[in-house]
């Protein structure tokens, strides 16, 4: 492994080369890589070096290979000693085969377009998809020695990537590629020009029929309802809002059905609704604002449970869900919370349920809470639930693991960030998992006094009040301080 002293020297050396970042001189980057001592230089060092270069601004035009097959990528090898540097052009909807990295490692830089990296496990004769990350322009994707994966361009636009491998691959001789549909493994020879099944039969040393059993993740009995799907680098706030709008548009028509028929969700939301209603019944209420009100079903239920007759207002980014809420009699704005128009001190209570974690950054969360404080009367209530980053039954610990494994901090992530997709769905959503001290400090700094903090079971023991800090989501009742 690269020692810390060498890494520090390397970083200092890179910072002394302004051409890498200010001029985006790709040739200088290649020359820098040629000069490294590969007896000590490793994957982490390569990743650190490449972070200093903006591939989206690099002049790669002269290196982009001609695409001759609209169904397969094209390669242009620029360097093979001591490290391989190769520029690839990916036509629309093209992909590599699933292939096995044996004895080499590297990094893929996305210069234009999008490239997804899908990894697999092959254990006890069974192949299963394990992870997927989406590389947007500017992404760096690590390829560890021993990984089984495929790269694909899922869009209708050309994608351009630059690949760096060590040791360099003079050819594809001995590389294994997988075909999931026929459960076949092919072993390429030195005449193959790509890790692809589009290669002629003469490019294979061997083809092994029925070499494994493929288990599609979505067809397994234990298939998760949602899957982690990192986007790198992390998109900006506007892009995340667009993703969430699309995600909830996709679910609007069936959201209530899923919410009420998914037992853990139903029991969890019912408990939160009851806790809010019980607290509201002790107050004098006229106006209640539900941020991220969705279809309005929960706000209506909370009011009914409280036995009170206060006015209901809603804000939601999904116009489709907002339309359903309006039909239920809730005065609803289709907007992000920060763009919503709400008079100062006009509300007696505000809820932000199941969605505060959709806000894309710590800075924006602080601004959002400040705006909530302004629209509340002094002493007004805030009801907030967030997913717990250490909940051992939920995604929090895994999200942190992915964050560390993929070095996502250096791709713009905060610890606890996760992008995900409903199994079988197309749209990707964003959520932030919170540490308890993180959310409490944020509320205190935004002018709120915490009245109660409760752990409520979600995946396990749904709807139960739990005593362990590593179980359940965090539900908070807070009051606007003077």
Domain at 344, CATH number: 3.40.50.150
In 308-389, DSSP assigns E strands to 311-316, 331-334, 347-352, 376-386
Rounded to an integer, the average pLDDT of 90-98 is 96
Alpha carbon distance 317, 358 (integer Å): 11
Q: Which letter, b or e, does each residue of 229-259 get, where b requires 16 or more Cβ atoms within 10 Å of its Cβ?
A: bbbbbbbeeeebbebbbbbbebbbeebbeeb
Check whether residue 398 and residue 327 sit in a common domain: yes
Q: Which pLDDT value is given to residue 221? A: 65
Check whether residue 389 and residue 276 sit in a common domain: yes
Q: Are 420 and 231 in contact (CB under 8 A)?
A: no
Phi and psi torsions of 354, nearest 5°: 65, 10
Flag whether 230 is in a domain. Answer: no
Alpha carbon distance 390, 386 (integer Å): 12
The C-alpha angle 457, 462, 466, rounded to 5 degrees, equals 30
Q: Which letter, b or e, does each residue of 37-74 get, where b requires 16 or more Cβ atoms within 10 Å of its Cβ?
A: eeeebebebbbbbbbebebeebebeebbeebeeeebbb
Q: Which pLDDT value is given to residue 10? A: 45
Question: Last residue of a domain, which of 223, 257, 272?
Answer: 223
Residue 179 CA, chain-centre distance (Å), reads: 27
Flag whether 441 is in a domain. Answer: yes
Alpha carbon distance 127, 315 (integer Å): 44
Check whether residue 409 and residue 273 sit in a common domain: yes
Q: What is the domain extent for residue 260?
A: 237-480
pLDDT over 80 at 222, yes or no: no
Flag whether 410 is in a domain. Answer: yes
pLDDT over 90 at 15, yes or no: no
Check whether residue 278 and residue 347 sit in a common domain: yes
Check whether residue 142 and residue 245 sit in a common domain: no
**By percentage, how much of the chain surpasses pLDDT 70?**
93
Rounded to an integer, the average pLDDT of 197-203 is 95
Which tokens in the block code for residue 445?
A: 């700094």
> Looking at residue 210, which CATH number applies to its domain?
2.60.120.10
pLDDT over 90 at 252, yes or no: no
Predicted confidence band at 277 (pLDDT cuts at 50, 70, 90)? very high
Alpha carbon distance 273, 281 (integer Å): 12
- Closest to 29 (Cα-Cα) out of 62, 51, 5, 53: 53
Q: What is the pLDDT of residues 297-351, one digit of tens each?
A: 999 999 999 999 999 999 999 999 999 999 999 999 999 999 999 999 999 999 9
Q: Is 443 helix (H, G, I), strand (E, B) or coil?
A: helix
Alpha carbon distance 200, 125 (integer Å): 27
Flag whether 272 is in a domain. Answer: yes
Q: Are 48 and 18 in contact (CB under 8 A)?
A: no
Rounded to an integer, the average pLDDT of 431-448 is 97
Check whether residue 204 and residue 294 sit in a common domain: no
Alpha carbon distance 396, 470 (integer Å): 10
Alpha carbon distance 67, 90 (integer Å): 8
Q: Are 50 and 107 in contact (CB under 8 A)?
A: yes
Distances (CA, A) of 413 to 46, 205, 227: 20, 43, 18
Alpha carbon distance 176, 174 (integer Å): 6
> How many domains is the chain built from?
3
Q: Which pLDDT value is given to residue 224? A: 66
The C-alpha angle 435, 116, 113, rounded to 5 degrees, equals 110
Predicted confidence band at 1 (pLDDT cuts at 50, 70, 90)? very low
Q: What is the pLDDT of residues 373-430, one digit of tens each?
A: 999 999 999 999 999 999 999 999 999 998 998 889 999 999 999 998 877 777 899 9
Residue with the larger pLDDT of the pair 367 and 284: 367
Q: Is 175 helix (H, G, I), strand (E, B) or coil?
A: coil
Highest average pLDDT, of 255-264, 416-425, 467-476, comes from 467-476
Alpha carbon distance 430, 317 (integer Å): 14
Phi and psi torsions of 71, nearest 5°: -110, 0
Give the chain's mean pLDDT. 91
pLDDT over 60 at 32, yes or no: yes
Q: Are 141 and 108 in contact (CB under 8 A)?
A: yes
Distances (CA, A) of 220 to 225, 228, 265: 11, 17, 21
27-32 contact pairs (CB < 8 A, 24+): 29/53, 30/78, 30/79, 30/85
Flag whether 228 is in a domain. Answer: no
Whether residue 233 is preceded by a cis peptide bond, meaning omega within 30 degrees of 0, is yes
Q: Which pLDDT value is given to residue 378? A: 94
Check whether residue 199 and residue 287 sit in a common domain: no
Check whether residue 313 and residue 444 sit in a common domain: yes
pLDDT over 80 at 180, yes or no: yes
pLDDT over 70 at 130, yes or no: yes
pLDDT over 80 at 103, yes or no: yes
Q: Which pLDDT value is given to residue 216? A: 85
Dihedral angle over CA of 386, 391, 394, 399, nearest 10:
80
Partner residues linked to 302 by β-bridges: none
Phi and psi torsions of 383, nearest 5°: -115, 125
Check whether residue 121 and residue 249 sit in a common domain: no
């Amino acid at each position: 492994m690269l020692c810390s002293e060498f890494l520090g020297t390397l970083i200092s050396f890179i910072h002394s080369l302004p051409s890498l970042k200010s001029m985006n001189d790709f040739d200088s980057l290649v020359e820098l890589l040629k000069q490294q001592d590969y007896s000590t230089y490793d994957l982490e060092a390569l990743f650190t070096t490449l972070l200093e270069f903006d591939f989206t601004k690099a002049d790669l035009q002269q290196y982009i290979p001609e695409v001759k097959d609209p169904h397969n990528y094209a390669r242009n090898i620029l360097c093979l000693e001591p490290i391989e540097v190769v520029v690839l052009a990916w036509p629309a909807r093209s992909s590599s085969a699933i292939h096995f990295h044996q004895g080499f490692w590297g990094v893929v830089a996305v210069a234009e377009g999008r490239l997804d990296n899908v990894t697999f496990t092959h254990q006890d004769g069974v192949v299963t998809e394990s992870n997927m990350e989406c590389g947007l322009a500017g992404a760096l994707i690590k390829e560890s020695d021993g990984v089984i994966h495929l790269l694909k361009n899922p869009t209708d636009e050309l994608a351009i990537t630059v690949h760096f491998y060590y040791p360099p691959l003079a050819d594809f001789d001995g590389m294994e590629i997988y075909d999931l549909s026929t459960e076949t493994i092919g072993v390429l020879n030195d005449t193959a020009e790509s890790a692809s099944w589009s290669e002629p039969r003469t490019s294979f040393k061997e083809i092994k029929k029925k070499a494994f059993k493929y288990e599609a993740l979505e067809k397994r009995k234990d298939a998760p309802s949602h899957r982690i799907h990192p986007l790198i680098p992390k998109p900006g706030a506007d892009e995340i809002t667009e993703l969430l709008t699309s995600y909830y548009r996709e679910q609007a028509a069936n959201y209530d059905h899923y919410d009420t028929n998914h037992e853990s969700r139903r029991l969890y939301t019912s408990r939160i609704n009851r806790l809010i209603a019980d607290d509201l019944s002790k107050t004098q209420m006229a106006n209640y604002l539900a941020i991220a009100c969705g279809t309005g079903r929960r706000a209506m239920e909370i009011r009914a449970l409280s036995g009170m007759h206060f006015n209901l207002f809603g804000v939601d980014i999904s116009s489709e869900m907002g339309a359903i809420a309006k039909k239920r009699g809730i005065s609803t704005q289709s907007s992000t919370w920060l763009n919503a128009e709400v008079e100062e001190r006009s509300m007696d209570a505000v809820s932000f349920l199941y969605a505060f974690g959709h806000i894309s950054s710590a800075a924006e969360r602080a601004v959002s809470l400040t705006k909530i404080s302004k629209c509340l009367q002094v002493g007004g209530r805030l009801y907030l639930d967030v997913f717990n980053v250490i909940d051992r039954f939920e995604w929090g610990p895994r999200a942190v693991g992915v964050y560390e494994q993929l070095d996502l901090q250096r791709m713009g992530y905060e610890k606890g960030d996760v992008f995900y997709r409903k199994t079988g769905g197309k749209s990707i959503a964003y959520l932030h998992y919170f540490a308890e001290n993180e959310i409490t400090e944020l509320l205190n700094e935004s002018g709120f006094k915490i009245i109660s903090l409760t752990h409520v079971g979600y995946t396990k023991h749904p709807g139960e009040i739990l005593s362990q800090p590593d179980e359940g989501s965090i539900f908070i009742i807070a009051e606007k301080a003077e």
